[in-house]
């Protein structure tokens, strides 16, 4: 059998992964508390020990791409494989409980692989604080929103400047205590980034208790060093049919704000760093940032930029995201709290699977010396994307795992009780879903000539596609600019009205009823509500179906809406938003009215609502729809639910048993919701999709059914009815 390069890499990774699991398992003895931020278009999980390492949420290698989900409205939009935080210092003696040994270089870690919550990064406090609680959302009486599971607040603080803040305290074996504050907003222009404030204090506390083990130590040459192993995007990587994009082997990396104008490397010249820009040079870099996007892959048979959907032949761009981090503030020293424009002092890119990324060992002097070389490397030039150019990032330096961005802040001196504050924003941006669909469709259908972003045209489909994808870089820089303005203004950005605090969806016989409370209406400038609906699944595109209030067709504020346009057999999902009159916002070229609208994620339902018909009045009226089921027509039968078959006019309570033509029982469905409808997704009890053939459905009544108005006994417990139907695949 011929083994391709990609197959060899997959086999090698599998063996390496097995070794990693065996090695790092002792360091993972304590499960970590995880909290989510899911109120805006960017969703991310955070851990109690101060950082989010590889598979640090589920422990499953299948979840290697896990987090920084944008746009989170859709499935599999994860854009990161791992993060890490290392703290290093020189001439350090461990506390007695850790052996009391002297190290010329000491480095403690959380991530990118492995962690030790008992002796290295020790969680002390982890709280979620909200400006207000999430709404209560119910669909037919059951819990109906993601936030009711993943947005549990420990504290409500109406004075909070953001909608959510995670407050995290972690002690380390260096005696440095990390206090981390992560801020998130559900405002449409500020909901795709998080601002994280780190304060590193020399407390001398090296463990979980309150006793100070090293009260008088002064730490020298202290660095705070972050890894960002970005991997755009989970959906796109899955769609390639390759394996290695899942861990970012083809990630393209770049950075800004680190290079002086005097730097020159080969054909690469630079126009000045962030300090030069602050000094008034308009051509210098105006930001200190690092970012990443999905590049080409040498094993792909087509141009992977943007991850166009080739498998399903839609062309839709499945990986248009640009993800990155910007430095907003870094103290000059423990005694000078002004921002140091020369921080971070290290901005490099390192191979993501090199030895220093392997599981931690804070007692191995030679290992820590190698890590120190990374930490103190300085600004690595030329930049990664400049070296790759139009080539393949998976071939650079023979990497088996791609490259990660690295930021190192230091060196600092920390006396007892002194601290260093560092503030960063991490965000994701890129083309919206509509553009991803239209550009991808033109690309795969070769609808030449193509219009480029600047208005010119080309006949090259890849030039067209890639030019549009690369506009995502400008979008990310706009996100960074908004984050910086937000930080500079002490988080005093205008906020939209809150959503209703109660939203209920009730399935009915000829309508689906939506009701909500009035709490949002007391917000200054409140102007009305909008209702949106999706068909078949909740993680998809929504359409506005109703609005009331200012500048709508229904100017009177109401607190209910009956969706009478729903069709029987379809599943429906909803969310409701509040909007204001624009008086709270100065407006912008993209939003001249200044209107702000609450986030869809506050109230988006994750349980289906559908038209419920009364139970059938005669067993003879039972129908199977569609019959026959033809796979070639499934897109026209129940959109978004391609394998769905419905049983209509059935008894209020019955057991449905589905058999093959030869009498093999393949599925049993308990119907007990009192309606006359039930669905089946064409799978067996073992989750296998059924093949073509004739099938038999047996309906057995499980209780007597009496007509609700006439009192007539319509059918008795134990009665049965049989229907045959055909499936064509």
**90-99, 242-251, 353-362, 629-638: least confident range:** 629-638
What is the span of the domain harbouring residue 641? 619-728
Asked whether the predicted pLDDT for residue 15 surpasses 50, the reply is: no
Proportion of the chain above pLDDT 90, given as a percent: 87
Asked whether the predicted pLDDT for residue 50 surpasses 60, the reply is: yes
pLDDT tens digits along 256-282? 999 998 887 777 889 999 999 999 999
Same domain, 454 and 518: no
Same domain, 108 and 167: yes
Which pLDDT does position 636 carry in this prediction?
73
The mean pLDDT of the chain is: 93
Let me know if residue 366 belongs to a domain. Answer: yes
Asked whether the predicted pLDDT for residue 413 surpasses 90, the reply is: yes
Which pLDDT does position 586 carry in this prediction?
62
Same domain, 159 and 267: yes
**31-35, 50-54, 209-213, 303-307: least confident range:** 31-35
Let me know if residue 88 belongs to a domain. Answer: yes
CA angle 685, 689, 694 (to 5 degrees): 95
CATH number of the domain encompassing residue 679: 2.60.40.4070
Let me know if residue 540 belongs to a domain. Answer: yes
Which pLDDT does position 592 carry in this prediction?
53
Let me know if residue 255 belongs to a domain. Answer: yes
Same domain, 457 and 559: no
Let me know if residue 612 belongs to a domain. Answer: no
pLDDT tens digits along 152-163? 999 999 999 999
Same domain, 637 and 578: no
- For residue 180, what pLDDT band results from cuts at 50, 70 and 90? very high
| Span 482-500, average pLDDT | 97
Asked whether the predicted pLDDT for residue 3 surpasses 50, the reply is: no
CATH number of the domain encompassing residue 549: 2.60.40.10
Let me know if residue 607 belongs to a domain. Answer: no
Last residue of one domain, picked from the residues 447, 467, 487 = 467
Cα 599 to chain centroid, rounded: 15
Same domain, 446 and 524: no
Cα separation values, 39 from 230, 520, 725, Å: 22, 17, 45
Asked whether the predicted pLDDT for residue 16 surpasses 50, the reply is: no
| Span 330-336, average pLDDT | 98
Last residue of one domain, picked from the residues 602, 627, 642 = 602
- Mapped to the 3 state alphabet, what secondary structure does 246-304 carry? HHCCCEEEEEECCCCCCCEECCEECCCCHHHHHCCCCCCCCCCEEEEEECCCCCCCCCC
Q: What is the DSSP letter of 342?
A: T
pLDDT tens digits along 618-637? 999 999 999 999 988 877 78
Let me know if residue 265 belongs to a domain. Answer: yes
- For residue 587, what pLDDT band results from cuts at 50, 70 and 90? low
Cβ-in-10-Å burial (0-12, 13-18, 19+) of 129 comes to middle
Which pLDDT does position 632 carry in this prediction?
85
Coil, strand or helix at 671: strand
Last residue of one domain, picked from the residues 546, 571, 602 = 602
Let me know if residue 357 belongs to a domain. Answer: yes
Same domain, 587 and 628: no
Question: How many domains does the structure of the chain reveal?
Answer: 3
Asked whether the predicted pLDDT for residue 430 surpasses 80, the reply is: yes
Same domain, 632 and 582: no
Same domain, 308 and 179: yes
Same domain, 83 and 137: yes
Same domain, 636 and 534: no
Cβ-in-10-Å burial (0-12, 13-18, 19+) of 23 comes to middle
Which pLDDT does position 622 carry in this prediction?
97
Same domain, 596 and 686: no
| Span 402-430, average pLDDT | 98
Q: Give the bridge partners for 561, in sequence order.
A: 514
């Amino acid at each position: 059998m011929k083994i391709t390069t990609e197959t060899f890499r997959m086999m090698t990774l599998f063996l390496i992964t097995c070794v990693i699991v065996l090695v790092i398992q002792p360091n993972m003895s304590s499960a970590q508390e995880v909290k989510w931020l899911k109120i805006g278009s960017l969703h991310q999980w955070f851990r109690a020990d101060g950082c989010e390492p590889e598979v640090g949420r589920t422990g499953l290698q299948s979840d290697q791409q896990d987090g920084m989900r944008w746009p989170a409205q859709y499935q599999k939009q994860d854009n990161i494989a791992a993060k890490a935080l290392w703290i290093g210092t020189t001439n350090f003696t461990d506390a007695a409980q850790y052996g009391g040994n002297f190290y010329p270089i000491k480095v403690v870690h959380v991530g990118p692989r492995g962690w030790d919550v008992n002796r290295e990064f020790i969680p002390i406090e982890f709280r979620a604080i909200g400006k207000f609680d999430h709404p209560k959302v119910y669909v037919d009486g059951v819990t109906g929103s993601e936030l009711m599971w993943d947005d549990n607040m420990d504290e409500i603080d109406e004075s909070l400047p953001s909608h959510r803040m995670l407050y995290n305290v972690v002690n380390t074996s260096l005696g440095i205590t990390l206090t981390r504050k992560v801020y998130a907003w559900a405002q449409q222009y500020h909901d795709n980034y998080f601002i994280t404030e780190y304060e590193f204090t020399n407390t001398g506390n090296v463990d979980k208790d309150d006793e100070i083990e090293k009260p008088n130590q002064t730490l020298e040459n202290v660095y705070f060093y972050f890894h960002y192993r970005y991997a755009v995007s989970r959906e796109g990587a899955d769609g390639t049919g390759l394996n290695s994009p899942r861990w970012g082997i083809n990630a393209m990396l770049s950075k800004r704000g680190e290079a002086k104008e005097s730097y020159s490397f080969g054909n690469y010249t630079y126009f000045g760093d962030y300090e030069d820009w602050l000094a008034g040079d308009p051509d210098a870099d105006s930001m200190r940032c690092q970012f990443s996007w999905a590049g080409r892959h040498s094993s792909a048979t087509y141009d992977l930029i943007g991850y166009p959907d080739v498998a399903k032949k839609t062309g839709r761009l499945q990986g248009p995201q640009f993800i990155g981090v910007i430095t907003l503030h870094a103290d000059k020293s423990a005694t000078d709290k002004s921002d140091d424009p020369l921080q971070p002092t290290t901005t490099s890119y390192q191979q993501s699977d090199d030895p220093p990324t392997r599981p931690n060992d804070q007692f191995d002097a030679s290992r820590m010396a190698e890590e120190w070389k990374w930490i103190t490397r300085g600004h690595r030039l030329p930049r990664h994307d400049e070296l790759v150019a139009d080539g393949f990032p998976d071939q650079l330096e023979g990497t088996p795992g791609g490259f990660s961005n690295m930021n190192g802040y230091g060196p600092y001196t920390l006396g007892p009780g002194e601290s260093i504050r560092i503030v960063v924003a991490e965000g994701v941006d890129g083309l919206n879903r509509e553009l991803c669909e239209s550009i991808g469709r033109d690309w795969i259908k070769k609808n030449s000539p193509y219009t480029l972003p600047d208005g010119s045209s080309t006949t090259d489909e890849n030039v067209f596609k890639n030019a549009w994808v690369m506009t995502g870089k400008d979008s990310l820089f706009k996100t960074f600019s908004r984050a910086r303005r937000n930080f500079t203004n002490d988080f005093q950005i205008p906020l939209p009205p809150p959503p209703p605090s109660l939203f209920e969806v009730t399935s009915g016989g000829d309508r689906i009823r939506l009701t909500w409370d009035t709490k949002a209406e007391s917000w200054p400038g409140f102007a009305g509500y909008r209702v949106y609906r999706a068909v078949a699944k909740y993680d998809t595109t929504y359409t506005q179906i109703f609005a009331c209030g200012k500048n709508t067709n229904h100017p009177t504020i109401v607190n209910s809406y009956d969706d009478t346009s729903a069709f029987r057999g379809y599943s429906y999902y909803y969310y409701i938003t509040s909007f204001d009159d624009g008086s709270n916002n100065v407006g912008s070229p993209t939003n001249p009215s200044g209107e702000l609208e609450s986030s869809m994620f506050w109230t988006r339902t994750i349980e289906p609502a559908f038209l419920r018909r009364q139970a059938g009045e005669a067993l003879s009226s039972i129908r199977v729809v569609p019959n026959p089921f033809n796979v070639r027509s499934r897109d026209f039968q129940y959109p978004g639910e391609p394998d769905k078959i419905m049983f209509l006019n059935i008894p209020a309570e019955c057991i449905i048993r589905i058999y093959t033509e030869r009498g093999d029982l393949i599925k049993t469905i308990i119907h007990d919701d009192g309606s006359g409808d039930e669905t089946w997704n064409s799978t067996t009890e073992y989750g296998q999709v059924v093949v073509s053939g004739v099938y038999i459905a047996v309906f057995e009544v499980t209780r007597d059914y009496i007509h609700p108005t006439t009192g007539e006994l319509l059918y008795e417990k134990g009665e049965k009815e049989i229907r045959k139907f055909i499936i064509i695949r």
